[in-house]
């Protein structure tokens, strides 16, 4: 057994025991926080650690599959450039729901907020991520984002009002169909 294998008890254990939290919301939010900071600051090293290739990224209009580290770097850096061009001071993603699908897979739902000096730059949008247990950490393998962009690179998210989200974003099984 290793540090990613849960003990016989349930729940989050202290870091002193060497075990990671077992609460799917804690795991999901931790991955979101690390990737949000990486996106804001262009830290591709963190991106490589927390996104597993091939990585599938879907908008309402198109699905992109990234298969190389170079593609992943371009994805990260283009989004970082977008955030910087808008003057974003914070990129915050807040988990709303996360659950285990299997012992090694979590699916979750969150809202993304892009902030400049305490003010929203555009409407928050929701996303669903699949997070899978990797050899050293949990990693995102798939993301579905409620923006209407249909081409790469995404420079300004075209957000959709929540009432108009497609069913895949509102149902827990939306990423597995």
For residue range 76-120, list pLDDT tens digits in order.
898 899 899 889 999 999 999 999 999 999 999 999 999 999 999
For residues 166 and 28, the model is more confident at 28
Backbone conformation region of residue 15, classed left if phi is above 0, alpha if psi is from -120 to 50, else beta: alpha
pLDDT band (50, 70, 90) for residue 121: confident
pLDDT band (50, 70, 90) for residue 15: very low
Averaged pLDDT for residues 46-64: 92
pTM given for the model: 0.78
What is the spatial distance between Cα 47 and Cα 49, in angstroms, rounded to a whole number?
Answer: 5
Find, among 173, 168, 139, the residue nearest to 58 by Cα: 168
What is the spatial distance between Cα 113 and Cα 45, in angstroms, rounded to a whole number?
Answer: 23
Q: Which percentage of the chain shows pLDDT scores above 70?
A: 72
Give the CA diameter of the chain.
Answer: 49
pLDDT at 91: 96
Instruction: Name beta bridge partners: 58.
Output: 63, 144
pLDDT band (50, 70, 90) for residue 61: confident
Are 169 and 128 in contact by the 8 Å Cβ rule? The answer is yes
Averaged pLDDT for residues 128-157: 84
pLDDT for residue 176 is more than 50: no
Which of 27-41, 79-93, 104-118, 140-154 is least confident? 140-154
Quick check: helix, strand or coil at residue 61? coil
Find, among 146, 9, 155, 136, the residue nearest to 75 by Cα: 155
Give the angle subtended at the CA of 43 by the CAs of 39 and 49, to the nearest 5°.
Answer: 95
pLDDT band (50, 70, 90) for residue 59: confident
């Amino acid at each position: 057994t290793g540090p990613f294998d849960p003990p016989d008890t349930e729940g989050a254990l202290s870091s002193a025991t060497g075990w990671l939290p077992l609460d799917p919301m804690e795991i999901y939010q931790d991955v979101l926080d690390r990737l949000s900071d990486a996106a804001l600051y262009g830290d591709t090293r963190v991106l490589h650690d927390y996104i597993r290739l091939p990585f599938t990224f879907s908008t309402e209009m198109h699905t992109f599959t990234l298969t190389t580290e170079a593609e992943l770097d371009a994805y990260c850096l283009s989004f970082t450039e977008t955030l910087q061009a808008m003057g974003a001071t914070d990129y915050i993603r807040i988990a709303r729901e996360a659950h285990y699908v299997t012992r090694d897979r979590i699916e979750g739902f969150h809202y993304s907020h892009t902030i400049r000096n305490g003010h929203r730059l555009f409407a928050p949008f929701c996303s669903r991520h699949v997070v899978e247990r990797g050899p050293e950490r949990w990693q995102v393998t798939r993301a579905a984002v409620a923006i209407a962009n249909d081409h790469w690179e995404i420079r300004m998210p075209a957000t959709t009002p929540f009432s108009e989200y497609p069913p895949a974003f509102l149902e827990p099984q939306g990423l597995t169909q």
